[in-house]
Amino acid sequence: MLLSAAVVLGLLFSCATAPEPVEPEPELPADPYQSISLLVQAGEAAAAIDEFQRAELTAPDEPETMVMLANLYLIAGQPEAAEELLSSVLQEAPEQPQALYSLALIQNSRGDRARSRELLEQAVAADPEYADAHAALGEILLESRSPRGARRAFQTAVELDEQNFVARVGLGNALLQLQEYESAEQELTEAVELEPEYPFGWADRARARIGTGNNRGAIDDLTQAIQLQPDYPFHYLDRGRVYARINQPEEALQDYQRALELRPDDFFILARKADTLFSLGRSQEASDAYVAVLQQRRDYHPAFVPLAVVSFELENWDRAYRFFRDSFERDQQNPGLALAASLSLKLDGREQEGRRFLAERARDLPREGALWAVSRFYQAPGSDNLAIRELQNLGSDEDVLRTQLEFYMGAQYLLNGRDSTARSFLTRAAESNYTGLPELRMARALLERLE
């Protein structure tokens, strides 16, 4: 549903929960328009329709009066009656802008975005100063991923009516899509000042602040959104992502957990929780979370390497092998994954299988360089001279590769029973500055075995 429909027709605020009637009921004002307005504000749409039909209204057959009745039908949840009435109005007055606008809202609610856009374009052509119609047209364009056209429509609406909340929020969102984050923040600041009780205004401004690098401000905005709408899980998800961005994983984890309490088994929240547990080094919990993620989407490849790593840390060698293998099959530009799969087989007591696995994959490697030499060492563990020489020849711009290969060398030395040499290589890998490397974590896991 368009935000404009919710705001203009009162579908969210006036009619979501009708207040309990107070006894005795107050006498309605003599002015029928005022009495109808009071009934709408009280959430009594059906009573408002009755009052409308009973009242002796001025010019009851005028298009504007009929549009008012059609809008009452909409508020009462009778879109068919509203559409019939609006269509009859447009037969008599084809350019009646309010009728075109209301009919556009109905068409959009049914998913007919093209027809809704057509009607709104007719409405603004009939009345170029109709701010609400410009704003609704902007929403249609925004939903259609046409942010530049949406920005023009929203900007026109704001110029016509600076207090138009829908236009302010829409303009902010169009600017977000265009990655004009500073301007988006300005517009959304105007929006939250107009409607401070609307939680998504704060959530949208948080997105703008993330874009400008103001992560703390984004957290403040999302906290405000949570206070206004504490049972909406995605505010917690979004705040958790910001906490993760600024390296506060414990706070991120708390938000993901709360989001899952509100929306159990949500795939994206589970994936975020798993990644956070992984970053915290909580291997068993991360393993459980990644398994839950893959139960929902077996093809979720971003989980493969971290699940392989935590499986390695938990000495679940077979599972580590399977996920390193599957990752390598998808990303053959990363031969280290093949080494990791081979190592996992070796640690599982499947030495010959590990050698064969690597031999089959190494056929596609260039037959020179440090990576080739270490893969040869894995296939023939008794000969390390070439691997050591090639490691020494690596340049200063190859430190990441050096760290990875030092780990694999150390792991093979461990399998060969050369604990002192293994410890030396594994320690260098574990103490590197490349904290995102899987090999760093696996080096630390093997060092613990040597203690």
CA of 365: how far to CAs of 246, 327, 334, 353, in Å?
A: 39, 17, 11, 19
Q: Where are the domains of the chain?
A: 231-298
AA letter at 445: A
Q: Are 99 and 84 in contact (CB under 8 A)?
A: no
**Residue 243 reports pLDDT greater than 70:** yes
Radius of gyration of the chain (CA): 32
| Residue positions counted in the chain | 451
CA 357 to chain CA centroid, Å, is 39
Tokens standing for 297? 């989407």
Mean pLDDT of 168-189: 97
80 pLDDT band, cuts 50/70/90, is confident
pLDDT given for residue 231 in this prediction: 98
Lowest mean pLDDT among 43-47, 104-108, 399-403: 43-47
Q: What is the pLDDT of residues 317-348, one digit of tens each?
A: 999 999 999 999 988 778 789 999 999 999 99
299: its two tokens: 């093809």
Cα separation, 394 vs 158, in Å, equals 61
Nearest to 155 by CA among 180, 120, 131, 186: 131
- Residue 401, pLDDT above cutoff 80: yes
Highest mean pLDDT among 31-45, 94-108, 281-295: 281-295
Is the distance from CB of 35 to CB of 172 less than 8 angstroms? Answer: no
Spatial distance between the Cα atoms of 202 and 188, rounded to a whole number of angstroms: 8
Q: pLDDT of 205-232, one tens digit each? A: 999 999 999 999 999 999 999 999 999 9
Record the pTM.
0.81
- Domain 231-298 in CATH 1.25.40.10? The answer is yes
Note the maximum CA span of the chain.
102
Token couple for 315: 């000495």
Average pLDDT, the chain: 87
Q: Which residue has the higher pLDDT, 335 or 254?
A: 254
* pLDDT surpasses 90 at 7: no
Give the least confident one: 43-52, 193-202, 303-312, 314-323.
Answer: 43-52
Name the DSSP class of 298: T
Q: Report the alpha-carbon angle 418-422-424, nearest 5.
A: 125
Question: How much is the average pLDDT of 19-39?
Answer: 43
| Close Cβ partners of 110 (under 8 Å, ≥ 6 residues apart) | none
Helix spans in 263-315 (H): 267-279, 283-296, 304-313
pLDDT confidence tier of residue 91, bands split at 50, 70 and 90 = confident
| Confidence category of residue 84, pLDDT binned at 50, 70, 90 | confident
- Residue 24: other Cβ atoms inside 10 A: 6
